[in-house]
Amino acid sequence: MLEEKVAVVTGAGGGIGRAVAIAMAAAGAKVIINDIGVSLSGEGGSTAPAQETKTLIEQLGGRAEINTDSVASWESASKIIQSALDHFGRIDVLVNNAGILRDALFHKMSPEDWRAVVDVHLNGSFYTSRAAADHFRQQESGAYVHITSPTGLIGNVAQANYAAAKLGIVAMSKAIALDMGRYGVRSNCVAPSGWTRMLSSIPIKTPQQQARMEKLQQMTPDKNAPMVVFLASDAAKDVNGQVFAPLHNEIFLFSSPRPIRSIHRSEGWTPETIAEHALPALKSSFMPLDTLRDVFSWDPV
């Protein structure tokens, strides 16, 4: 489905990024494997993870090159896109997957942990997307696939930085779809579920949590790759501005926030009339304070 296309996959040294890069190559794409080899929280650095992905692709007969620039600054992110041009002469697909985690309850979250996560996930997705935009526009084709998260779409405890960045990516993707659709460019999001090092970092305190984790381990990272490959392919030429969530063997399509109820008062509103009339009328439709476990409460199928 991706024969002769050139794809950049950020964060492709492991987990979902590696699974996507391998699937892209298996579908015929030439792949730029971008990864800086840091820890889950963003420390350190190594070329080994990217090299392992490259070896796996080449063992399957695919073509891939490595880039170790960071997505977290405009200058280095631009080099990631340039590497596709240098090695393969063009770019057709960008998968924004790179990410780190620095979880903490909101009242304990440091500004440094907020900035680090937002810089990689949200700012990094903007930098690489913007660097690719001119090439996509000039060739009048191109596909963005941004990796968001159910944490941003639904909510989760102790992940304000991650949730804000991931929901911001959804808004950015919609804006790209609106601005660049006229040039034949598509922008969609995938909210993956899978057993990766991000999930493995979640503390387990009860037998119930242990049992749930064992079930989550069935959802291997490769379960998300088919949707990403599809969205990158010409078969998805009419799909733009959407959010998909693979969950083991299920695929969910997410909605965007829309008005769900209204109340009118011809003479206008005061704080008192809002409390007396608007609140009782609207309260039954309030958004619940639920989390991922509340929304996806069943075992993977």
Domain boundaries defined on the chain = 6-256
Q: Position of tokens 């780190």? A: 100
pLDDT in tens, 199-228: 555 666 788 767 766 766 778 899 999 999
What is the full DSSP assignment across 198-247?
HHHTS---SHHHHHHHHHHTTS-GGGGHHHHHHHHSGGGTT--S-EEEEE
Confidence category of residue 45, pLDDT binned at 50, 70, 90: confident
Per-residue pLDDT, 101: 96
Residue 183 scores a pLDDT above 80: yes
What is the arithmetic mean of pLDDT over 171-200?
88
The pair of structure tokens assigned to 109 is: 């979250």
Per-residue pLDDT, 209: 67
What is the arithmetic mean of pLDDT over 43-50?
87
Per-residue pLDDT, 140: 98
Residue 294 scores a pLDDT above 80: yes
Q: Is the pTM higher than 0.85?
A: yes
Least confident range from 12-16, 58-62, 190-194: namely 190-194
- Which of 127, 144, 162, 183 is catalytic? The answer is 162
Q: What is the mean pLDDT of the chain?
A: 94
Residues 143, 185: contact at Cβ < 8 Å? yes
pLDDT in tens, 70-121: 999 999 999 999 999 999 999 999 999 999 999 999 999 999 999 999 999 9
Query: Taking phi first (over 0 means left), then psi (-120 to 50 degrees means alpha), and beta for anything else, what does residue 268 get?
Result: left
* 162: annotated active-site residue: yes
Please name the fold of domain 6-256: Rossmann fold (3.40.50)
What is the arithmetic mean of pLDDT over 240-262?
96
The pair of structure tokens assigned to 213 is: 């984790």
CA atoms within 13 A on the CB side of 90: 15
